[in-house]
Amino acid sequence: MTVQIVVIYQSLLGIYGDRGNAAVLRQRLQWRGIDVIVTVVEPGDRLPADAQVYLLGGGEDQAQVSAVSALRKDGNLFRALDRGAALFAVCAGYQICGTSFTIGDHDEVVQGLGLLDVETRRGPARAVGEILTQWTRPDGSVSLITGFENHGGFTRLGPQARPLATVERGIGNGDGTEGAQAGRVIGTYPHGPVLARNPDLADHVLRLGLGCELPPLTHPEIDELRRQRIEAVRR
């Protein structure tokens, strides 16, 4: 089996280094002896409809509008999700997955992809800085998520979405929660890249995309770096 990871529109939604999430997922699969290819797709090129994991990153206002238009025209992301793929979206990528978001000085409302029941509007102040949240895993245990947030939008969840995590430090959605999830679609604000900082979340994304459990990995050096980051945020 070869797993395919698709990085969507790096030229539009790649200004914060979120492509690094693909490198993390690839490495964690390779450590398990699983073959993997990473495909970067730009506007004008068709997205493969048969990949297991799709990634969206951060970008500016006009890039968001362009990405929504291109993804709607392409259509294959919707087909892939219907088939059982996973989508992990960060910051602007998270916002465009919702039903609507605003852009520009006049807060023009733009329709999103409708993959998450969330809407984003300009917040009272830009959220910039380290963020620490508590994520409840599918098995009920709690894991901390660390990252760096830099966004002006605050996101409100509708009844068909649930928060990814609750905020311990930082802003997140603006209401004490962070991110959103529904089925195999996850949206979140932190950069970092966030999956490099949070290996449990990375493995969760892989499990969603592959539809199976994965053997555990042991890397004490990664655990120690996480401990130091969490300790630094809590000071």
CA 214/CA 14 separation, integer angstroms = 28
Reported as a single tens digit per residue, the pLDDT across 156-207 is 999 999 999 999 999 999 999 999 999 999 999 999 999 999 999 999 999 9
> Which of the residues are catalytic?
91, 191
Q: Provide, rounded to the nearest whole percent, the portion of the chain with pLDDT above 90.
A: 96
Q: Look at the domain 2-234 and name its fold.
A: Rossmann fold (3.40.50)
Helix (H) / strand (E) element for 201: namely helix 199-210
User: Which of 40, 109, 43 minimizes the C-alpha distance to 70?
Assistant: 43
What is the model's pTM? 0.97
Q: CA distances (Å), 80 to each of 76, 83, 132, 212, in order?
A: 6, 5, 31, 17
Positive/negative CA dihedral, 112, 114, 115, 116? positive
For residue 13, pLDDT beyond 90: yes
**pLDDT reported for residue 1:** 84
Domain boundaries, given as residue ranges, for the chain: 2-234
User: Which residues have CB under 8 Å from 81's CB, separation 6+?
Assistant: 54, 87, 115, 183, 184, 185
CA 230/CA 173 separation, integer angstroms = 20
Distance spanning both ends of the chain, measured CA to CA: 45
**pLDDT reported for residue 63:** 95
**pLDDT reported for residue 119:** 98
Reported as a single tens digit per residue, the pLDDT across 225-235 is 999 999 999 98
Reported as a single tens digit per residue, the pLDDT across 66-117 is 999 999 999 999 999 999 999 999 999 999 999 999 998 899 999 999 999 9
Reported as a single tens digit per residue, the pLDDT across 21-43 is 999 999 999 999 999 999 999 99
